[in-house]
Structure 1
Amino acid sequence: MSHDGIATRSVMRSVAFLAASALAMSVLAGCSDPDPAGKPLAGQDIAAADRSRIADGGTLRWAVDAVPETLNTFQSDADAATTRIAQATLPSMFRFDATGRPERNPAYLESAKVVETEPKQVVLYKLNQQAVWSDGREIGAADFAAQWRALSGKDSAYWTARNAGYDRIEKIQRGDNDLEVRVTFGQPYSDWRSLFSPLYPKEVMGTPDSFNDGARRKLKVSAGPFTVKSIDRKGNEVRLTRNPRWWGEPAKLNEILLRAVPRDQRAAALAAGDLDLAEVDPTAAKRIALAAPPRPQSPSPGASGTPLMGPDRRTLTAGQKRDKARFRGFEVRKSLEPAYTQLALNGGDGPLADERVRRGLARALDREELAKLVLSPLGLPAEPVGSHLALSGQAAYADSSGAIGGQDRAEAQALLADAGWVQGGPIKEKKEKKGEKKGEKAAGSEADKSKKGSEGEKSKKDSKKDSAEEADKKKSEKESEKKSKKESDGGDDGTYIVGEDNKPGDDEGRTGEHLAQDGKQYGSKQLQQGGVPGAYAPRGTAAPAGTAVRTLAKDGKALTLRFVVPAGEGSQSLRAVADRIAIMLERVGIRTVISKVPDESYFKDHIASGQYDLALYSWPTSAYPATDARPIYAKPVPAADGSLNVEQNYTRVGTDQVDQLFDQAIATLDESESRSLIRKADSRIWAAAGSIPLYQRPQLTAVRTSIANVGAFGFGTPVYEDMGFLKKGAAAPAPQAS
């Protein structure tokens, strides 16, 4: 079967949509195809309330993972807390709306637009005349120019994590007055709105020393509704206070206290009254949800008002009754993060270097089942992600998964057979290596089929043997299903067979899935929303029944893939997802050896270094995919020292065509054309099958019911000046619709 034809049809759908849009003269001229971007699957859940209903004053105690090592978001060790502080204290020319699309921030900008395209692109920024730094100086062209010089990549003395976009600027000048900034690009740049958000003062960006060290531990000058008052590293706290020079709507809160609390300790901290707001894992969320009164149902399907699925309130255990008392006054606000979990296929070497094997594996997966496994028990919309480069609601989104097709076991086996992997071939079993764990073997293995542990196949014609193997396969599959039920209760470290039980443990710990941060120049860029690592799967969900097949083999070797997962206490649900995938692959004859590795080495020592065949990790999506996603899917190239430069493409799968489409998308100033090129690139990324998007990640936030305009922000940028405690007697806001 030609997969080129499928990819072409997917691309043609995008072209047809754009053509229909171009032909529509007006709304009254006739109907056009619906926007493939659609709407977000789940809206914000922030208990939105008018400022008039919010009291002045108070301190919001907000959990973060750690006190940030740096306050400079453009450095490689910046994290989610760095981003959160920058949002509250620094200018951003554009911020994201509830659909994840950039919008002008009126606090800083009166307007910003492209005023010239020939001979060069020129963007004119007109600044809010009231916008000043906390030292009283006006925000102006000198600040823009200092940031450009620091991030352009021309001076290696600046330790920058990324420079994409800034490296295309040719010059920055003052406009007709002090409130105008003219930015001239040497090369066209479609994602110009991504620049100068956040904007640092020239005192930070002006010299390498001030950039590298000056803004790591303090921020002397700021320009947001809050300022950084203190950083207490021993006490694990960052204190933000109202900015007296803020010209916009005054902040309702006196202070925001960012307190570092490990994820496995947040439920206890909330119950003890030490926190007001914390992102939590599904187990803690269900415990907290028991204490909250039923919330009004949102009128929109899949919206955040849908309750968490948990124990029936009428049949609570003693422990659940205690939780109900402990968490009284809290509720769980939930949405979907602007990030998705994917199955990564390492195409650098081994069987997955063959595109036919990768495509065959992809056709074995039931992505809808995996999305339901994770999201349905949380009351969130369970739809598989259809794009690598955007999520439903974002401007560039279109479901391009048709480029590879849905689950089809027959097609999967046909692709694998075309690559030379067939059932019933002779398998030369490896001898047990010294130091190998006793009993270590692969999921779906045909070894150890008898009570005495004999291995291998005697003969294809031995029908009795085949029947016994088939029965053992089904037995192994049932054991695997039991394992997926038990995974959320804990597990031992090391390598195990899907189907073996793990040791019990505490599943309220930190999640083990790692969020690969989306950097512009091979560095770390945090989600502005403050994304949280974690893949979630429900407790006690049985795997579906299916027909087992014999392991595929080629040249005397079984088709065996190493599936790497983190081994931490909070990783049980992620391992359950891996188990379910392993069962799906077993049904087409693919073995999976699931190896649990320490959380701290999971990404650096395995994903980034290529020591895996299959892995689960996440990427945030961006409103600027032409800029931010290119390093993730760029074709690896040999470096000068002979190594392979993969940038952030940890699957090692890339094509020249995808690179060219990204380059074209970033260089056109026609937004419709740029979106079309991004969608074409995504179709080809699907066809290459280096990674398979699975589901959008849940976002669960425990919040005091008396606090408004905070919670699960989804795609939107938080509005810090509107956060606060409801006035006494004010009714709690109803959940927002999607």
Structure 2
Amino acid sequence: MIARKIVAVPLLLGAFALAACGSGSTDDPGTGPTDQPSAIAASAQDINAQDRSTLAQGGEMKLAVSDLGTNWNPLEIDGNNNELTGIRNTFLPNYFNFDAKGAYTPNPDFLTSAEVTTQKPTVIHLVLNPKAVWGDGSPIDVDDLTATWKACNGEQKTFKCASTDGFDQIKSITSGSDKFDVTVTFKDAFPDWASPLSGPLKAESVKDAKTFNEGWATLDNDWLSGPFKVDKEDRTQKTIDVIPNDKWWGDKPLLDKITWRTVATDATPNAFVNGEIDAFDIGPDPNGYQQAKGVADATVRQAAGPNWRHITFNSKAGVLKDEKVRQALVKGLDRASIGESDLAGIDFPISQLNNGIILSNQQGYEDEGKATGIDYNPDQAKSDLDTLGWVAGSDGIREKDGKKLEVKFSALDGVPASQNEALQTQNQLNAIGVKVDIVNVPAADFNTTLSGHSFELIAFTWIGTQFPYANINQLYGTGSESNYQQLSLPDVDKLTAQIKVETDPAQRTVLANQTAQLLWKSVGIVPLYQRPELIATKSKLANYGAFGLSSPVWTNVGFQK
């Protein structure tokens, strides 16, 4: 959730986030996603774009990471972390480059061409770059694509994949004249075909469930491929350094070194002010925004990507097992004021988000709060709870059958937005007779808290992709590892299956909004607002910043002379 955005991943930058799966969907890789809702504001990019020939050769770029996690596998549930994705982009294959509008083309360093030869079922002809090799010198070929597909197509349940979406739609992967001539055949029409083909993992690294799930605890250069390679991964100092890959066949990186060191989220702005790091993701952190604005040789770069804050309700925990109670809680939440409070002091437009699939600035957006009546209405929330038998006690907290109406909100230590959202939720729900206990969770325990479902309410950011219809099943599908709300909605599963194969853009949007309405009524993921992408950078840092819908080209990142 989540940089190349493949999977829904938690973002640990001022506000935790997860990156949602999906990397492409169009019949022509050269023209970009023509069948997706367009997002005008979300197409912005602010990276100090400069021709690489004008930049200095050499130098070290210093960045912060809130936690290095325990698993580097981008497809495994515990490795599905947006911060780690930002690091992995320097040393793992990326088959497509995305521009500021989210349009994508084959990345020639890895993929010579990608052509749709048949629409229904979708058949893709790929020509892989024969120069592309893994760190051990072996070629990146059809065997790697095949192994990656089989690891996450859902047939082998012991593989802990963050999502099977897309992989489960592939029928076969075959080679032609050689192992770089690849044909991918899908089971049916599949407009988001580029999603599972965004870049393979080395076959050896996903050869069995134990290797897939546990073999990525530390990085092995033999399994990596990109313009950089790992120079040092220090778990004691909690740092990772990458340097130019001596086996790299493309343009030489401008930077001599990139260093990430672990810095607590709330300490990151000070590290930037003190010159210890060259850039950081401000996120919804007013204090960090003001600190960055005060640095003389710095710039705050701004874009509106497809990322959004939300609260996940664990439908199998305590009183949240009752859908009617969950709906009443939503009616007691002034989500617009929560967003305004999160972003107070940040110069960025904000609007409440009432759709869990399509953003408010995208074509086809439907306000599901308005459509269902499940929106801020504290008087109705009180009435609904009365009807359900939850009656206010002497202390104002509602009771039923001797049990208090009480929920726990897991707030992340050192994450201002999470802490603020917990407090706002506590105050607002108290007004309708609900007791909210705030449970502080260490940042390092974020992933395991989610995957272990050891929470009742928790807030973080979903890191979206250029393709909003490619990841619906990951977040909401029955049995998905990323379905942290633990809801099984058969009608949603059926609609999602239809969306996967629907090639008519208008009908696809209709189906998506039907799905969004069912999701809204179920109250599993409750959106708050579209999260701003605010990246503070040193002013001379070029080709890096707020990428919006685009992807970084790490060989071109460097400093102006």
Alignment TM-score, normalising by the size of structure 1:
0.61
* Alignment pair present for 1:561 and 2:406: yes
* Alpha carbons 1:394, 1:623 under 8 Å: kept: no
Greater alpha carbon shift after TM alignment, 131-140 vs 276-285: 131-140
Counterpart for residue 284 of structure 1? 288
Aligned to 1:17: none
Instruction: Specify the alignment match of 1:196 in structure 2.
Output: 197
Residue deviations 1:223-270, cap 9 Å, x none?
422233333334433332223554444322222222333334434544
| Identity rate, percent | 29
Spell out the pairing of 1:506-545 with structure 2 (5 A cutoff): none
What is the Cα-based RMSD across aligned positions, in Å? Answer: 3.8
Alignment of 1:55 onto 2:56: yes
SS in 1 for 2:354: coil
In 2, distance between residues paired with 1:188 and 1:45? 35
Distance 1:53 1:573, change over 3 A: same
Partner of 1:40: 41
Shift, 1:686, TM fit: 1.2
2:459 — aligned with what?
616
Q: C-alpha distance in 1, partners of 2:192/2:43? A: 26
Q: Secondary structure at the match of 1:192?
A: coil
Contact 2:241 2:257 in 1 (8 A): yes
Tell me how far 1:623 sits from its aligned partner.
Answer: 4.2
CA-to-aligned-CA distance 1:26-66 (integer Å, 9 cap, x gap): xxxxxxxxx96432358333222232432222121222234
**CA separation of 1:578/1:275 partners in 2, compared to 1, >3 Å: closer, same or farther?**
closer
**Cα distance per residue 1:543-566 (max 9 Å; x no partner):** xxxxxxxx66666776x3324242
Aligned pair partner of 1:578 in 400, 422, 427: 422
Q: Determine the structure 2 residue equivalent to 1:7.
A: none
- The structure-2 alpha-carbon separation of the partners of 1:365 and 1:44, relative to structure 1 and needing over 3 Å to count, comes to same
Q: Which moved more, 1:64-73 or 1:132-141?
A: 132-141
The SS at the match of 1:227 is strand
Larger Rg: 1
Match of 1:88? 90
1:646 deviation in Å? 8.1
Are residues 1:407 and 2:369 paired? no
Partner of 1:660: 494
- Aligned in 2, Cα 1:98/1:403: closer, same or farther, shift over 3 Å? farther
What secondary structure, in the 3-state scheme, does the structure 1 residue paired with 2:300 have? strand
Alignment pair present for 1:363 and 2:331: yes
- Matches of 2:410 and 2:142 in 1, distance apart? 48
3-state secondary structure, aligned to 1:402? helix
CA distance in 1 between counterparts of 2:486 and 2:381 reads: 22
Q: Which residue of 2 aligns with 1:73?
A: 74
Q: 1:46 to 1:668 in 2, by over 3 A?
A: same
Q: Closer, same or farther in 2 for the Cα pair 1:701/1:394, shift >3 Å?
A: same
Looking at both structures, which has the greater relative contact order when contacts are Cα pairs under 8 Å and sequence separation is at least 6?
2
> Are 2:550 and 1:726 aligned?
no
Distance 1:50 1:606 in 2: 42
Counting only pairs closer than 5 Å after superposition, residues 56-135 of structure 1 correspond to structure 2 as 56-67=57-68, 69-78=70-79, 79-80=81-82, 82-99=84-101, 103-117=105-119, 120-128=121-129, 131-133=132-134
- How far 1:724 moved relative to its partner? 0.6
AA aligned to 1:580 is: Q
Query: What SS does structure 1 have at the residue aligned with 2:340?
Result: helix
Instruction: Output one character per residue of 1:106-129: Cα deviation in whole Å (capped at 9) or x when no partner.
Output: 4433432432355x4422113346
Q: Is 1:184 aligned with 2:185? A: yes
Change (3 A) 1:662 1:220: same
Q: Deviations over 1:271-293 (max 9, x none)?
A: 5543222335542332232233x
In the other structure, the counterpart of 1:226 is 228
**Local SS of the residue matching 1:378:** coil
Q: Deviations over 1:679-703 (max 9, x none)?
A: 2211211123333211233444332
Give the aligned partner of residue 595 of structure 1. Answer: 438
Structure 2 letter corresponding to 1:127: L
Q: Which residue of 1 aligns with 2:6?
A: none
Cα distance change, pair 646–104 in 1 and its aligned pair in 2 (3 A): closer
Instruction: Give yes or no for contact 1:71–1:219 (8 Å, CA) kept in 2.
Output: no
| 1:548-599: CA deviation from partner (whole Å, max 9, x where unpaired) | xxx66666776x332424273x255534333333444445x33323333343
Structure 2: segments with no counterpart, 5+ residues? 1-35
Cα separation, 1, equivalents of 2:72 and 2:500: 29
Do the aligned partners of 1:188 and 1:669 also contact (CA within 8 Å) in 2?
yes
Aligned partner of 2:352 in structure 1 is 384
2:162–2:480 CA contact under 8 A, matched in 1: no
Give the Cα separation in 1 of the matches to 2:205 and 2:193.
22
The 2-side partners of 1:581 and 1:156 are apart by 37
Aligned to 1:251: 253
- Contact kept? 2:38, 2:362, Cα under 8 Å: yes
Structure 2 CA distance for partners of 1:234 and 1:103, relative to 1, 3 Å:
same
CA distance in 2, matches of 1:394, 1:94: 23
Contact 2:102 2:549 in 1 (8 A): yes
Distance 1:376 1:218, change over 3 A: same
**Structure 1: segments with no counterpart, 5+ residues:** 1-34, 293-328, 430-444, 447-550, 636-644, 728-738
SS in structure 1 of the partner of residue 194 of structure 2 = helix
Cα distance in 1 between the residues matched to 2:228 and 2:363: 31
Relative to structure 1, the CA distance from residue 259 to residue 86 in structure 2 (aligned partners, 3 Å threshold; closer, same or farther) is same
Q: Distance in 2 between matches of 1:291 and 1:625?
A: 36
- The answer to whether the Cα contact below 8 Å between 1:403 and 1:686 also exists between their aligned partners in 2 is no
The alpha-carbon distance between structure 1 residues 412 and 108, as it changes in their structure 2 partners (threshold 3 A), is same
Aligned pair in 2 of structure 1 residues 45, 392: CA closer, same or farther (>3 Å)? farther
CA distance in 2, matches of 1:258, 1:659: 40
Task: Give the whole-Å Cα distance in 2 for the aligned partners of 1:148 and 1:100.
Answer: 24
Deviation at 1:369, TM superposition (A): 2.2
| TM-score (structure 2 length as normaliser) | 0.78
Is the partner of 1:98 in helix, strand or coil?
coil
Deviation at 1:410, TM superposition (A): 4.4
Q: 1:602 to 1:70 in 2, by over 3 A?
A: closer
1:696 counterpart = 2:530: yes
Find the aligned partners of 1:351 and 1:209 in 2 and give their Cα distance. 37
| Paired amino acid for 1:561 | E
Alignment of 1:326-341 (within 5 A): 329-336=297-304, 338-341=306-309
Distance 1:71 1:350 in 2: 33
Q: Which amino acid letter does the alignment assign opposite residue 94 of structure 1?
A: F
Structure-1 separation of matches of 2:440 and 2:216: 37
The answer to whether the 8 A contact 1:252-1:722 is kept is yes
Counterpart secondary structure, 1:172: strand
Q: What whole-Å deviation, never above 9, does each CA across 1:58-117 have from its counterpart, x for those lacking one?
A: 121222234454443233442445423431223222344435565543443343243235
Q: What is the CA-CA distance between 1:669 and the residue it aligns to?
A: 4.6
Contact 1:170/1:184 (8 A) holds in 2 = yes
Distance 2:221 2:514 in 1: 43
- One-letter identity of the residue aligned with 1:341: R
Cα offsets for 1:419-441 (capped at 9, x unmatched):
455xxx674x6xxxxxxxxxxxx
Alpha carbons of 1:654 and 1:39: their partners in 2 closer, same or farther (altered >3 Å)?
farther
Aligned residue identity for 1:379 = D
The residue that corresponds to 1:239 in the other structure is 241
Deviation at residue 181 of structure 1 after TM alignment:
0.8
- Distance in 2 between residues matched to 1:186 and 1:173, nearest whole Å: 14
Checking the alignment, whether the CA contact within 8 Å between 2:299 and 2:538 is kept in structure 1 is yes
Letter paired with 2:409: V
* C-alpha distance in 2 between matches for 1:207 and 1:647: 18
Contact 1:41 1:392 in 2 (8 A): no
